[in-house]
Amino acid sequence: MNNTRQSLSSIPRWNNLSVLVLLIATLCTLPWIGLGEYYTKGEPREASVAVSMLDEGNWVLPRVYADEIAYKPPFTHWMMALCSIPGGEVTPFTSRLPSTIAFIVMSVCCFGFLGKFMGKGESLVAILVFISCFEIHRGAMTSRVDMVLTAFIVCGLISLFRWAEEKQLAGLPWHIPLLLGGASLTKGLVGIVLPLFVFGVYLLLTRRKFMMVVLKCVFAGMLSLIPLLVWYYAAYQQGGHAFLDLVWGENFGRFFGSDNAKLHYNLGHEHPFWYNFVLLLPGFMPWTLFLLFSIVAVKSACKRPGNLWRNIMSRERGKLFSLVSLCLIIFFYCIPTSKRGTYLMPSYPFIAAFLGQYMHAFLTKRPKVNHAIGVFGGVITGIFALLSVFALVGRGGLQDVAAGFIKGDKTLFHVNLIGEALSTPTIVYIVVLTALLSVFGILIVQLRKENQKGILYAVLGAWLTCNVLMDSVALPTFKNGTSIKPFVSGIKEKYPLEKGNMYVVNDLRKYANMYGTNFYLRNGFMSFENEEPEEGYFFSTDKDIEKVRETYQDYWFELLEESPNRFNDTNAVVQLYRFGKVEE
């Protein structure tokens, strides 16, 4: 370890930069997470678990959509519920807050980790790339379990690395079982198996004794498993074998690709082995564009393939650990047939470490490439700024232009929402747009001066500002415009809807689930099939109602209301029916 970086004189500078990273991560996310309603299926599905916890008082195995068991470990939902207690209800802000806090804490921890083996500039570039890339930024702004899981795994990996390199595996730091146990309480065994798998391989590569590695990993894993086992036991007492079927299907069925016939839904997201590498391209946007744009300057990455293994093993331990982590995390998630971009998020800090080092190297080794990246970044930023100014000045001109060449109704609807947002002047909009124009101007000045460091940081700052512009201005209008909440608010005022008279058919193999509608009706849906009610209100979509009529021919269904369009979380028209049994 470089003693100079550990000297007392360097500590204040690192602390100051850590505060800067904390401020950037916070300002890019926290002020904006409450702007905009739920507009996807995933967010209200998770938030409804917290609603059930608060309303029913069951914090172990709450029941949500039509008496469906909330099969995921409940740590994230506990945090959502706790954040919602002061306000008395679960809102988009309170349900997204755990993800945002996890993202902020992880960003600062990763910056501290990178600072141990990288220069200040490289570390700062890497963490800004990490903060601003698409998948991580999106995960930090949504009420899902993935960001909390990622933070636990990444912080757990960093703690395991420090245990090996700073303490030489002496004892077991108390926070390691807490972090891995938290990961398991967020999404099951993967929160323990994955980090210990990475850690074990790293220890073997650094020539630790095999039996010692096995014993250390087993010991850490057993302690970390205690919280999950306690919850499994408590949940089994309530859910019985139905709960075990869900746990088996979600953990082992999803990983090994076996379909559990006892589940009433398909595991989904099934893709081939190589699909994860495709997911990384949009996940790291826009930096994958810059990477592809600059790759022409890399002439001899494999010039001496015979020395590849020696070059890998001769790396500084922190870089070796980062390389092992990113490779094994991606490999691990290539095994299951179920693949999603969010699964790969634990690899992102380690990928960003090398991408940041790569980009920072251009300052001295490839200044022309760095200048070209600045031009490319200026073009992207300029497009954002010009579209915003045009929409603001033209007041609807953007929608008119888009209507001329966009044919799809859904795409045109989305563009109109964005155009409406960008053409409506607000104080926040004016402030953020002014900041964007200022950063764009700074980038132009740095390009003219050929200030390589200034160009790089201006590009990073420009994209961070673009993210803020989208989150503070465009996306809230987009989310509200595609949310089912306005429709639900309207029918709640017209009809006596309450838990006990609202029903749906809950079978994802045949019908779409309306998670957003259920959330805004305060988790009020009951199972039509299980309850066999005499009368009440029934929710369906225009795509499913005929199948419902054919299946339940001893009921009549009268259409009362339907959503104005299908641009919502179900991608269908949501319909409200009054129903009753057919008199014989």
* The pLDDT value given to residue 11: 35
Q: Do 322 and 448 lie in a common domain? A: no
C-beta of residue 53 within 8 angstroms of C-beta of residue 104: no
Higher-scoring residue by pLDDT: 71, 584 = 71
Query: Which residues fall within 8 angstroms of residue 95, CB to CB, at 6 or more apart?
Result: 43, 46, 47, 50, 80, 83, 84, 143
Q: Position 145: which residue type?
A: V
Report DSSP letters for 429-459, one per residue.
HHHHHHHHHHHHHHHHHHHHHT-HHHHHHHH
Tens-place pLDDT, residues 499-524: 899 999 988 788 889 999 999 999 99
Q: What is the residue range of 548's domain? A: 486-581
Q: Per mean pLDDT, which of 14-23, 145-154, 206-215, 312-321 is the most reliable?
A: 145-154
Tens-place pLDDT, residues 443-491: 999 999 989 899 999 999 999 999 999 999 999 999 999 999 999 999 9
Q: Position 550: which residue type?
A: E
The Cα–Cα gap between 142 and 52 comes to 19
Higher-scoring residue by pLDDT: 253, 572 = 572
Range of weakest confidence among 282-291, 469-478, 552-561 = 282-291
Mean pLDDT value of segment 93-118? 96
The Cα–Cα gap between 203 and 195 comes to 12
Q: What are residue 540's DSSP bridge partners?
A: 575
In a domain, 13, yes or no: yes
Q: Do 282 and 161 lie in a common domain? A: yes
Q: Do 402 and 277 lie in a common domain? A: no
Q: Do 349 and 388 lie in a common domain? A: no
H helices of 335-366, in order, are 348-365
Number of domain units in the chain: 3
Q: Do 245 and 375 lie in a common domain? A: no
The Cα–Cα gap between 435 and 461 comes to 10
Tens-place pLDDT, residues 322-353: 999 999 999 999 988 878 899 999 999 999 99
Q: Do 308 and 424 lie in a common domain? A: no
The Cα–Cα gap between 518 and 438 comes to 44
In a domain, 433, yes or no: yes
Task: Out of 482, 503, 521, pick the residue that ends a domain.
Answer: 482
Q: Position 33: which residue type?
A: I
Rg (CA), the chain: 26
C-beta of residue 370 within 8 angstroms of C-beta of residue 362: yes
* The pLDDT value given to residue 296: 58
Query: What end-to-end distance do the CA atoms of the chain give, in Å?
Result: 84
* The pLDDT value given to residue 1: 41
pLDDT-derived band at 13, boundaries 50, 70, 90: very low
Q: Do 526 and 412 lie in a common domain? A: no
Query: Which residues fall within 8 angstroms of residue 58, CB to CB, at 6 or more apart?
Result: 52, 238
Q: Do 175 and 278 lie in a common domain? A: yes
Q: What is the mean pLDDT of the chain?
A: 88
Instruction: Name residue, tokens 């959509």.
Output: 65
In a domain, 430, yes or no: yes
Q: Do 525 and 559 lie in a common domain? A: yes
Of the chain, the percentage scoring pLDDT greater than 90 comes to: 68
Respond yes or no on whether the N-terminal peptide bond of residue 286 is cis (omega within 30° of 0). Answer: yes
Q: CA nearest 344: which of 326, 360, 370?
A: 326
pLDDT-derived band at 305, boundaries 50, 70, 90: very low
